[in-house]
Structure 1
Amino acid sequence: MIDAHVALMMLGIFILLVFLGFPVAFTLMALGIGFGYYAYFDAGRMWRSFNRLAEDSETLTSVITWFEGAFNNRIFDLFINQTYTVMSNEVLTAVPLFLFMGYIVERANIVNRLFSTLNIAARNIPGSLGVAALITCALFATATGIVGAVVTLMGMLALPAMLKARYNKSFASGIICAGGTLGILIPPSIMLIVYAAASGVSIVRLYAGALLPGLTLVGLYLLYVMGRAMLQPKAAPRPTSDEVPEVPLPKVLWMLATSFFPLAFLILSVLGSILFGLATPTEAASIG
């Protein structure tokens, strides 16, 4: 069996186990150990251990020798070494800290209030719900750094609101999916942290290089949503006064001050401390 066949088999088993409901982390670990055992299998090395089994008469020694023969494979040494290497990597320590920061932002109900406030503030803009959803996705993606959390939360929060406002289904779904993927690019992206740890590239340089393209992508998404809302009004109807009430400007500014600016200040503080060299990503994640 060639390597390509083994890789395809591994991918197929992974997809099957995930669809059956097995946890992704344990599925990946089991597949890695199982196929790694196959890749590093050395029959001569194993049988040398089993040959000693025939020479031993004591039961306990025989059991130990049998286990030594069955597990006499390099994959177990690599498993232990790689586990220690990942756990002792200072750059990767930032990953759970950024995830914890995003979890706190989610549980603090900031995202819900932010989406509602932006929806009211942008009610006179074409595609106001889509614009509010995209900005919320961008800010929440920046706070979490991962795609799944953003798509899941905004799918439950913004998608029903857009469908209730008679938005085109594919248009509304595309807004959520496109906004959720911004978490891969806009710092502090978890993917960039993992890539920096694997490739040895400076995470600060990766963040500096990804910030402007990420913001540019947000701007292009917003232009597309507003442009399509103007060209195809049925795809993104304007909200009525019953759906989104008219709110005085001072109250809108106060709502923004209590929902938008705290999250923006948190993000700018974390990113600013990293980009200006005031703190490492791990230290900035701890502060956040």
Structure 2
Amino acid sequence: MTDPQIALVMLGLFIVFVFLGFPIAFTLMAMGIGFGYFAYYDEGRMWRTFDRLDETASYWDSWTTWLEGFANNRIFDLFVNQTYTVMSNEVLTAVPLFLFMGYIVERSNIVDRLFSTLNVASKNVPGSMGVAALITCALFATATGIVGAVVTLMGLLALPQMLKARYDPSFASGIICAGGTLGILIPPSIMLIVYAAASGVSIVRLYAAALLPGLTLVGLYLIYVIGRSILQPSVAPRPTDEEVPDVPARQLIVMILTSFLPLAFLILAVLGSILFGLATPTEAASIGALGGIFLAFIYRAMTWQRMRESVYLTVRTTAMVCWLFVGSYTFSAVFSYLGGEQVISEFVQSLNLSPLMFLILAQIIIFLLGWPLEWSEIIIIFVPIFLPLLAIFEVDPLFFGILVALNLQTSFLTPPMAMSAYYLKGIAPPEVRLTQIFKGVMPFLVCVFISMILMYVFPQIVFYLPELFYGR
């Protein structure tokens, strides 16, 4: 068996182990070290260690020398170096800070105030409660970037009120599931930070490039919600005065000033400082984390228990991402050394694809991978396989990254593995069936595909802001 064939066996075994449910990060590390031991095996190097033994050596000296000889393989040096590379990656430093900001905001009672205010402010808009829920999801998802947290909290907060207001269960569920996934696309997105670390693309340019596509997707969602509410009023009845009371203009302004503006200002301050070059992403994330703590104190929601929970969840999620990077770097280094990337590159080139066909094929593969895998695993493990091919097909890695971010919205919305639907089902009233949730997310899935087509047809939606701020 040749080295490239062994590399393909390595990739196939990894996919099998993933479907069997093994922890992905440690599976990557184990397979990287296991196949790497074979790839980097140097018999002469090992026996040079054994040559130090003589007949007078003690049992303990013999045992330690044999162990040292067995471990005298470059794969262990590679593993240590890759771990240190992840630890010293300045881009990844922003991950725990943005996560901490999100967990603090989640626990500061901002979201319920925000939803109530937007619900009152949009009372005269068709599908007002759905519009309020979608905008709240978008803002909250942007502040946290944690899909499960947004869907769960909004499901507890907004779904019962929408059902009480006689909204169609499928329609209401789809709004919350789709809105909750926006945080992995709209800056400051943790997913884009991970893509930047994996691809070497500037995170600042990625943030600028993702802004208009994210707003485009939100706009498509709002058009669908309002349009369907006009065409089919039964799915989103107009709220009564008892459900959403009228409030004086002065009181509404106070509500907006105390609920909407603080969170919006925090997000804009963090994002603006990055886009205008006033701070690095890590520095901006630090300010965001501090701002989240400040908001929690202002709203009198900060307790020692909530702070401890936020720190624990931040450490746990950050550790997962970093160990995925360590495993992926080790796995991909061995895979490339054995010639696996070269085989894939030659195979794709032999298909004689146009750049457009290559992009479509790559997005279909990522779409299918989104069923069994989380976005972090797709970005860290599989996207690097496509990156060397981008130069061959003259595809900008910036453009590719935004398309992937849009595509990964579908991984949370596509049955039967739509994680947003399962998050919502876990806290929804018993009468809301999983099939109803699946039915509700399908129109929003169409909106995602429309937005991807718009990016293909009008690529300036991606490139306009990066070129405006930073040039070509």
So what's the TM-score if we normalise by structure 1?
A: 0.86
Q: Is residue 10 from structure 1 mapped to residue 14 from structure 2 by the alignment? A: yes
Alignment match, 1:37: 33
Alignment match, 1:254: 254
Deviation at 1:222, TM superposition (A): 0.9
Deviation at 1:275, TM superposition (A): 1.0
**Do the aligned partners of residues 160 and 77 (structure 1) sit closer, same or farther apart at CA in structure 2, a change above 3 Å counting?**
farther
CA distance in 1, matches of 2:199, 2:114: 36
Alignment match, 1:224: 224
Q: Which amino acid aligns with 1:91?
A: V
**Whose relative contact order is higher, 1 or 2, with alpha carbons under 8 Å and at least 6 apart?**
2
Deviation at 1:139, TM superposition (A): 0.8
Deviation at 1:281, TM superposition (A): 0.8
**Do the aligned partners of residues 62 and 261 (structure 1) sit closer, same or farther apart at CA in structure 2, a change above 3 Å counting?**
same
**Contact 2:204–2:274 (Cα < 8 Å) also in 1:** yes
Deviation at 1:50, TM superposition (A): 11
Alignment match, 2:200: 200
**Do the aligned partners of residues 264 and 73 (structure 1) sit closer, same or farther apart at CA in structure 2, a change above 3 Å counting?**
same
**Contact 1:50–1:65 (Cα < 8 Å) also in 2:** no
* Mean CA deviation greater in 198-207 or 4-13: 4-13
Deviation at 1:51, TM superposition (A): 9.2
Deviation at 1:259, TM superposition (A): 0.6
Alignment match, 1:64: 64
**Contact 1:49–1:66 (Cα < 8 Å) also in 2:** no
**Do the aligned partners of residues 105 and 52 (structure 1) sit closer, same or farther apart at CA in structure 2, a change above 3 Å counting?**
same
Q: Which of these residues, 28, 37, 41, is aligned with residue 24 of structure 2?
A: 28
* Mean CA deviation greater in 8-17 or 207-216: 8-17
**Do the aligned partners of residues 128 and 16 (structure 1) sit closer, same or farther apart at CA in structure 2, a change above 3 Å counting?**
farther
| Secondary structure class of the residue paired with 1:97 | helix
CA distance in 2, matches of 1:231, 1:50: 80
CA distance in 1, matches of 2:114, 2:48: 65
Q: Which amino acid aligns with 1:122?
A: S
Alignment match, 1:270: 270
CA distance in 1, matches of 2:155, 2:78: 40
**Contact 1:33–1:75 (Cα < 8 Å) also in 2:** no
Deviation at 1:180, TM superposition (A): 1.9
Deviation at 1:263, TM superposition (A): 0.4
Deviation at 1:167, TM superposition (A): 2.3
| Secondary structure class of the residue paired with 1:167 | coil
| Secondary structure class of the residue paired with 1:237 | coil
| Secondary structure class of the residue paired with 1:108 | coil
Q: Alignment length, in residue pairs?
A: 280
Q: Which amino acid aligns with 1:86?
A: V
Q: How does 1:1-288 map to 2 (within 5 A)?
A: 3-4=7-8, 6-17=10-21, 27-42=23-38, 45=42, 48=46, 52=50, 57-68=57-68, 71-288=71-288
Deviation at 1:203, TM superposition (A): 1.4
So what's the TM-score if we normalise by structure 2?
A: 0.54
- Residues 210-269 of structure 1: per-residue CA shift (max 9 Å, x gap): 111211221221111011111111222222222222222221221111110000111111
**Contact 1:134–1:179 (Cα < 8 Å) also in 2:** yes
**Do the aligned partners of residues 81 and 51 (structure 1) sit closer, same or farther apart at CA in structure 2, a change above 3 Å counting?**
closer
Deviation at 1:112, TM superposition (A): 1.6
Pairwise CA RMSD of aligned residues? Answer: 2.6
Structure 1 portions without partners, runs of 5+? 19-26
CA distance in 1, matches of 2:87, 2:241: 54
**Contact 1:137–1:180 (Cα < 8 Å) also in 2:** yes
| Secondary structure class of the residue paired with 2:271 | helix
